[in-house]
Chains A and B, each alone.
Chain A
Amino acid sequence: MPELSRRQFIKIAGLSTLGASLLGSCTFSKVELLAQSPHQTPEDLVTGTDNWYATLCSQCPAQCGIVVRVVEGRAVKVEGNPLYPINEGKICPRGQAELQELYHPDRITQPWLQKGQRGSGNFAEITWDEALGEVTQRLAQLRANGRADTVLLATQPLRGRMALVTRRFMEAYGGRYMAYEPLEDVVLRAALNQTLGQDVIPEWDIASANYIISFGADFLSTWLSPVRYAKGYGEFRQGDRGRGTLVQIEPRFSLTAANADRWIANRPGTEGLLALSLAQVIVAEGLVDSNVIQAFTRGAGAKALEEFRPERVQETTGVTAEVIRSVARDFARQRPSLALGGGASAHTNGLFNMKAIFALNYLVGSIGQKGGLFFNPNPSPETQPLQAAPFAQWRDLVGDLLSQKKPLNLLLIHKANLAYGLPSSINLSQALTQVPFIVSFASFLDETSAQANLILPTPAGLEDWGDDIPDPGPGYKVLGLRQPTVYPVGDTKAFADIILALAQGLGPEVKNALPWTSFREALQDGVRNLYQASAESQRRASFTEFWQSLLQQGGSWNLQERIGSQGEPPPLPQPEPASFAGEANDYPYNLIPFLSNALYDGRGGHLPWLQATPDPLTTVAWTTWVEMNAQSAREQGLQEGDVMIIESPYGSLEAALYLHPLMPPGVIGMPVGQGYWAGDRYSKGRGTNPLAILAPLTDGETGALAWAATRIRLRKTGRRSPLPKFEGVVSAIQLEDEPIIQTIKANPSTP
């Protein structure tokens, strides 16, 4: 028996303790053996039993109704609200991911004050009293000095009571307010107003349509109310009628183009010409009722549209006369048919394009018809939404700041990421340095908040109160309600509640404009009006009961309250050509940025589920890619994953190439939504943002950003960066050559 040295003994002893502790750690930890008996059990909390709360999604402007599964106070799942008329129980990937916003590790949960230089990211936590005191004091002082008009409140587009509170506050205070959205719907609204006389977006009855022409409206992915349209699309394809036909006219191969029966790639910016050419065929061939034709052409008949004969426009549009004729004939014959316009608005002639497209609906008699479009009720003065201001106004604002013409002393920002969305050529970052104090209401650090002096944390969508009148609505009056579903994570205050708190300290004039102590009270006020005006006041025992029933089902709507839809003949729009930034010789490609299916305009970038959701077409996740026609790329010796420099006359950026078999040569697609440089752990430093290099071109009349009007050139960097994509994760199976497993004699399944 050898002697054990002391040293060896210690080693052995150590090892056996390690063994014991290793095995010890395989048992339940002490914490898990605790069964906490709560101090008090809320009435609605039963261990192990789900509670479902109806509320509204806040991930995109459609604001679908959702129900949130809450287990023991934790929200664990978001699902579509089956009662809510917009989405009827369905939900998109972005809505599902709303949950992750709530429990996000990088949420701001305490007011932050910038300590160092602005933009340095050197924030210190302060209390709400200090934070609100600071803002109130600044607001009060500016107003006392008669400089209230040097205060600007920039928000995201707001609807419902939130818009009311914001508007009343800023009007009573005397400051300016504007809403911002990167890819705005200004042109769409102007076109609807000028052709159909509507201030709100109508309901497109995709479900019952028989033939749909969509001019770049990516309604299966991101356009307006995608869940509602996708639900309609399901019926359109396989409802109880025959299968509908979808034609997508778009220079980029979008998700909707991928699902279309026929995809027609036109030259960018020629959608209006094509629409009028379709009208010409319908009019000249007399495919619809002659009274309609007379009204449409103001009695001029086919002559009025002579210049749009397919043969005349085929050169400009890049679509052959036969194709135009066949589509026009089908469109007029296979009614009910519908013409939608989306991406067509992103040009300098966007308004013309959209007006021409929407006019087609009148020609085929789709207004107010099943399978056509239905008007939505106009909002009352109280519920007037706060729509996005056109790009031109933001450009002018920045210009005025830079030239010191209209200085700002205080900038309040609520979820309007100007620094990310505005093209860098207008030099917002320089302009922001001219503003002495910036306050941001935000849940997460974004590029604009990073420039702020003070960040006031707002609740996540699932912790907030709110209401919404959906736009587009379903063709009748709907009021959706948002309610908190869980106890708040962190010390946050809702934007509207902060406004109400600020109003308290700004003198009687402002205070009296907002006679509520909390936003919830303001909401109840609105619902009370509804209660008193409706027959519900007879049926329900009390207002409280009515209010609770509304919260339970997620809002109030009445299918019977359809309003009539009548179409006046729309004016024939005057054609104008699209112009582009960059000479075709120097900049051979049209850059078409598009909203990402998962990240939308980037507002989903901080949610890992969305980052990890592959793009439906390219299957790329977690980064930005450049879509280029595969064949022309190969001819230039380019491969997938080649890092390219994308250069416009207004800047350049880098991204890896994706060879796309169906992108038209001459067109480059890039998704919006990545390229955050401030931000959280999941989005920061990922990919690039094509909005940054866009030319500041606008649609002439509306001043909206023409985001598809920039031409670019591509250069190879020589570097390669493999794209993180789903494609190829699952290998294909070769069936013909060699069966992988012995074919088992198939058992017919026995139902």
Chain B
Amino acid sequence: MPEQYSLYKWTMVIDLDRCTGCQACVVACQAENNISFNTEDRFHQHRVMEWIRVERYWDGEFPQGRAHFIPILCQHCNNAPCEPVCPVYATHHNEEGLNVQTYPRCIGTRFCANNCPYQVRFFNFWQPQWPSRMHNQLNPNVTVRYRGIIEKCSFCVQRINQGKRRAQREGRQIRDGDIMPACVQACPPSALIFGNIKDTASRVYRLAQDKRSYRLLADLGTDPNVVYLKKVEY
């Protein structure tokens, strides 16, 4: 069923030709979204929480080769496999194209994480903890999650809401580039671009039409709101 979208439909474009794999987006996301520390144990247990991660793919072996990097975050699918399996409607698609996770609703069945082909949903196996004083750096605009619920990339919905209110106060519509999730803002080579794809003058609209564009695991029919750009090398 095609969704009816309001004024906005948020889309991210990831230009893999620009991405260097430097991890700036990863740390920016940790800082903005109060993600608890990924301790050494979490790496061993394969329970690392990174709402955005940079996957590295080796291409070739010595002497010829290179590595490719793909930043992967919640794709905010228009046909999201995570949504229909949630028994309590904690995850749903909103009218601006966001796949929203409602923490107080989540009961921790982890069905959504199982059903997500991109593996971008993370379960809080422990109560997140910050050592003394470090809780001062928590972002007051983002809920600190607790044990037993799923969390994931929200496209920095707190920044979207803030941007909308700012625009409302100033009596205008949101301009292209007004709203930037933390990862987009940090990215040194500007590989990440965020905007409203319903605005035909926006950068994301133009880039989504680029002949380099593709969607991740498009065959699954999830119809993501994250567009990847990559020049195919022959």
Indicate which residue in B28, B44, B64, B189 contacts A722 across the interface (CB closer than 8 Å).
B44
Contact pick for A91, options B24, B40, B218, CB 8 Å: B24
* B residues near A740, Cβ cutoff 8 Å: 117, 220
Q: Mark B197-213, 1 if CB is under 8 A from A, else 0.
A: 11010000100100000
Across the interface, B31 reaches (CB within 8 A) one of A99, A226, A664, namely A99
Task: Report whether B31 and A743 are in contact in the complex, using a CB–CB cutoff of 8 Å.
Answer: no
- 25 A-B pairs with C-beta separation under 8 A: A71-B140, A75-B137, A77-B139, A80-B185, A92-B22, A93-B26, A93-B28, A105-B134, A221-B20, A226-B188, A233-B18, A234-B190, A237-B17, A613-B26, A616-B21, A616-B69, A617-B21, A622-B39, A631-B61, A662-B65, A729-B48, A740-B220, A744-B79, A749-B223, A751-B205
Task: Verify B28–A76 contact, CB threshold 8 A.
Answer: no
Contacts from B to A (Cβ < 8 Å): 2-3, 5, 9, 15, 17-18, 20-24, 26-28, 30-32, 37-40, 43-44, 46-48, 50, 53-56, 58, 60-67, 69, 72, 78-79, 81, 115, 117, 119, 131-134, 136-140, 182, 185-191, 197-198, 200, 205, 208, 217-223, 225, 229, 231
Contact A619 B56 (CB under 8 A): yes
Stretch in A253-261, A370-378, A419-427, A549-557 with 4+ CB within 8 Å of B: A253-261
- Sorted nearest first, the 5 A-B pairs with minimum C-beta distance are A234-B189, A724-B43, A230-B188, A258-B67, A744-B221
Interface size of A in residues (CB-CB distance below 8 Å): 90
Tell me the bound Cα distance from A214 to B197 in angstroms.
38
Candidate in A263, A612, A749 with the most chain B CB atoms within 10 angstroms: A749
B188-A231 in contact (CB<8A) = yes
Q: In the bound complex, do residue B137 and residue A99 qualify as a contact, i.e. CB atoms below 8 Å apart?
A: yes
Contact B22 A730, beta carbon cutoff 8 Å: no
CB A324 to nearest CB in B, in angstroms, measures: 15
Task: Compute how far the CA of A566 lies from the CA of B189 in the bound complex, rounded to whole angstroms.
Answer: 29
Contacts of A623 in B (CB 8 A): 40
- For B27, the chain A residues whose CB sits under 8 A away are 93, 96-97, 609-610, 613
Q: Is the CB of A746 within 8 A of B221?
A: yes
Query: CA separation between A567 and B131, bound complex, in Å?
Result: 55
Bound: A729/B53 CA distance, A: 11
Checking A231, A238, A614, A747 against B79 with a beta-carbon cut-off of 8 angstroms, the contacting residue is: A747
B69 contact set on A, CB distance < 8 A? 258-259, 616
Asked if A741 contacts B115 (CB within 8 A), the reply is yes
Residues of B within 8 A of A735 (CB): 217, 219
- By a CB distance below 8 angstroms, the chain B residues around A725 are 43
**Bitwise interface map of A from 234 to 253 toward B, beta carbon under 8 Å scored 1, else 0:** 10011000010000000001
Q: Whole-angstrom distance from the CB of B119 to the nearest CB of chain A? A: 5
* Minimal Cβ-Cβ distance residue in A for B222: A744
Contacts of B133 in A (CB 8 A): 103-105, 489
The reply to whether B58 and A661 contact each other, CB–CB distance below 8 Å, is yes
Q: Kindly state the separation between the CA atoms of A89 and B177 in the bound complex, as whole angstroms.
A: 13
Interface hub of A89, A92, A243, A598 (most chain B Cβ within 10 A)? A92
**CB-nearest residue of chain B to A227:** B188
In contact, A750 and B137 (Cβ under 8 angstroms): no
Looking at the assembled complex, report how far the CB atom of B177 sits from the nearest CB atom of chain A, in whole angstroms: 11
A689 within 8 Å of B by Cβ? Answer: no
Residue-wise, chain A 254-283 has the 8 Å CB interface mask toward B (1 for contact) of: 010111100101000000000000000000
Alpha-carbon separation in the docked complex, A257 to B67 (Å)? 9
Q: Which residue from A76, A89, A253, A729 sits with its C-beta under 8 Å from B185?
A: A89
B219 contacts which of A72, A230, A612, A743 (Cβ < 8 Å)? A743
A674 to chain B, nearest CB (A): 12
| Residues of chain A contacted by B208 (CB below 8 angstroms) | 751
- Of the candidates A220, A731, A733, the one whose C-beta lies within 8 Å of that of B22 is A220
| CB-CB under 8 A for A726 and B185, given A744-B221, A746-B223, A751-B9 | no
Given contacts A230-B188, A609-B30, A662-B62, contact A105 B132 (CB under 8 A): yes
Contact assessment for B188 and A92 in the assembled complex, using a CB-CB cutoff below 8 Å: yes
Residues from chain A with Cβ under 8 Å of B20 in the complex: 220-221, 230, 233, 255, 259, 616
Q: Which residue on chain A has the smallest CB distance to residue B188? A: A230
Q: With the chains together, A616 CA to B44 CA distance in Å?
A: 18
Given the interface contacts A78-B31, A97-B27, does A621 sit within 8 Å of B189 by beta carbon? no
Q: A77 vs B137: C-alpha distance in the bound complex, in angstroms?
A: 7
Are the C-beta atoms of B198 and A751 separated by less than 8 Å? yes
Contact of A76 among B3, B40, B55, B137 (CB under 8 A): B137
A578 to B166 CA separation, bound complex (whole angstroms): 61
Assuming the A-B contacts A103-B137, A259-B21, A750-B2, are A617 and B67 also in contact, with contact meaning beta carbons closer than 8 angstroms in the complex? Answer: yes
Which residues does chain A contribute within 8 Å of B26, judged by CB atoms?
Answer: 93, 613-614
Chain B contacts for A750, CB-based, 8 A: 2-3, 5
Residue with the highest number of chain A CB atoms closer than 10 Å, among B27, B30, B133, B188: B188
Q: Given A92-B22, A726-B48, A743-B221, is A616 in contact with B79 using a C-beta cutoff of 8 Å?
A: no
